[in-house]
Amino acid sequence: MTKRRYKLIITIVKKKQANKVMAAAKRGGAEGGTILLGSGLGIHEKESFFGIDMLYEKEIVFTLIPEDRLQNILDHIQNEAKLNKKGTGIGFVVDVLAVKGIVHNQMDMTVEEEAFGTMAEHVNFELIVTIVNKGDSGIVVDASKRAGAEGGTILSGRGSGIHEQAKLLSMIIEPEKEIVLTLVTRENVKRVLSQIEEEASLNQPGKGIAFVLPVEETIGINH
């Protein structure tokens, strides 16, 4: 099978702008994305108002894409979401080591041994990011623990993928999502990833996706 490398685009924009990013990414060749809510302060935003520290609502968009579509999708996001204007938002790209859950694409999605060989030798952890439908995060956490992980962190978001095109009165419905962050030792990452794929049924359309991100440094792991 042909191996295909993936990248993760992380875009941070003002509230109510994430849909523009998602639409632009899809026009550029992406198949979907996941939106998280957050808050923050940019260089062009006031730090205080009458002595009160200010934080502004933000939306964070995760867009997982094939490497060969990266530049086209970035161009669409920058031009259509107007990220080339000051104060509108930022985006950056993260390398992805492995992907599970893209069942419509008959590619080899196994963990790439050569990719792990390039990681820093002094760090023995990787981050598994699993995005599933609301209510399925417990399955992911339990599966990862059975495979040797020590726990996980669950975030809430919304998003749409290639199998989720439901509409109501011509408006696209974006299903609620749960995002599970699982920090695992490098020696366990393939076992944990496979266990999540099996128990969360990521090999079925519309069930979710999981991918591995490289970790360069860790703190707080004292045991």
Residue 109 has pLDDT above 50, yes or no: no
Structural domains of the chain sorted by starting position, each given as residue range(s) with its CATH number in brackets: 1-96 (3.30.70.120), 99-218 (3.30.70.120)
Mean pLDDT, residues 125-149 taken together:
94
Which value, to the nearest 10 degrees, does the dihedral of the CA atoms of residues 189, 193, 195, 201 take? 180
**CB within 8 A of 6, min separation 6: which ones?**
64, 65, 66, 67, 96, 99, 211
- In this prediction, what percent of the chain has a pLDDT beyond 70? 74
Tokens 């699993």 belong to residue: 130
Residue type at 73?
A: I
Q: Are the CB atoms for 188 and 128 separated by under 8 Å?
A: no
Three-state SS at 63: strand
Using CA atoms, how far apart are residues 34 and 145, in angstroms rounded to an integer?
24
Helix H or strand E encompassing 18: helix 18-28
pLDDT of residue 108: 43
pTM, two decimals, is 0.80
Q: Which of 153, 143, 148 is nearest to 198 (CA)?
A: 143
Residue 165 scores a pLDDT above 80: no
- Identify the pLDDT of residue 170: 56
Which pLDDT band holds residue 86 (cuts at 50, 70, 90)?
confident
CA–CA separation, 90 and 95 (whole Å) = 17
Burial of 8 (C-beta count, 10 Å sphere; 0-12/13-18/19+): middle
pLDDT (0 to 100) of residue 106 = 44
